[in-house]
Amino acid sequence: MKRIFCLLLVIAASALAPFVQAADDPLVMGVFPRRNFAETARLFTPMADYLGERLGRKVTLVTSRNFAAFWTAVSEERYDIVHYNQYHYIRSAQTYQVIAHIEEFGKSTITPTVYVRRDSGITSLAQLRGRTIMFGGGEDAMISHIAVRHLLQLGGLKTDDVRTLFAVNPPNALLALDRRQAAAAGAGDVILGSPEVRGYMNTDELAALAVSPALLQLPVAVRRDMPAALRAEIQSILIELEHSERGRRVLAAAAMTGMGKAEDRDYDPHRRIAAAVLGPGAVVPLEPARERAYGKPGK
């Protein structure tokens, strides 16, 4: 009987081995290419290392050279933890669950804004008809393209009413405006305070032509099939960063000032804006109970 019992223990241990090993596998952390490849790696390596230390489990940072490669990885659920823009989240909400939002310059929100040069003589959105607008990032940039498009819509301008150009990122959109390469530029208000802008232009020469209501900042999400205990631990580590000296260094390295808790409903305003600009099919539908409480996207 003892031999049989020992044999059963060996069989049970062998059966459980894959699960134990899986729990020790590295977690993959993806960060969207808001900045270039090398800069993203430099900024977020301290955060990945810190998460790994606190979790007692390696966290591997993966960066992408372009948005297409990044979105492919999101679509294929290659990331366990992912930091991306608000539109990325509402497109992937069926497979990823938001746990936190970032803070920049002490703010947990960002305000989509249409900027013009003060000396341009442009005082209304209607004056942009037939002129060039420089958007920061690509067509899936939530703040500097989609939300700015919504502002133009509210001002009576259709997509074909303006000429569209895209800069690599929001700072470059403002720099292009400063160099008179466009009549207006779309970006979030916090971009004016970024070193990529302040170090190369006088931001006092720009004026806000149209301003959207503030929207919650960029999200951090995890795979929906992640164990609840691990998800809660990662969330706790991130939102407590600002409460320790080491954590504040990690935030500073990533050009952040803090993180706060976030849940899916916090990104409903972003859903509505994206649906209004891109159509209802552009966003993940709200859960039925929340549609009843908040209205369907775009309404």
User: Tell me, what's the pLDDT at 202?
Assistant: 93
Residues 6+ apart with CB under 8 A from 110: 104, 143, 188, 189, 190, 214, 215, 216, 217, 218
> Rounded to whole angstroms, how far apart are CA atoms 296 and 228?
28
User: Tell me, what's the pLDDT at 23?
Assistant: 57
User: Tell me, what's the pLDDT at 136?
Assistant: 87
Domain with CATH 3.40.190.10 in the chain: 26-107+216-262, 112-212
* CATH code of domain 112-212: 3.40.190.10
User: Tell me, what's the pLDDT at 169?
Assistant: 86
User: Could you report the per-residue pLDDT of 157-205, keeping only the tens digit for each?
Assistant: 999 999 999 998 888 999 999 999 999 999 999 988 888 898 899 999 9
Residues 6+ apart with CB under 8 A from 225: none
User: Tell me, what's the pLDDT at 168?
Assistant: 85
Which stretches of the chain drop beneath a pLDDT of 70?
A: 1-23, 284-299
> Domain 26-107+216-262 maps to which CATH number in 1.10.540.10, 3.90.79.10, 3.30.930.10, 3.40.190.10?
3.40.190.10
Q: What is the pTM of this model?
A: 0.83
User: Tell me, what's the pLDDT at 8?
Assistant: 43
What are the φ/ψ torsions at residue 248 (nearest 5 degrees)?
-65, -35
User: Tell me, what's the pLDDT at 22?
Assistant: 52
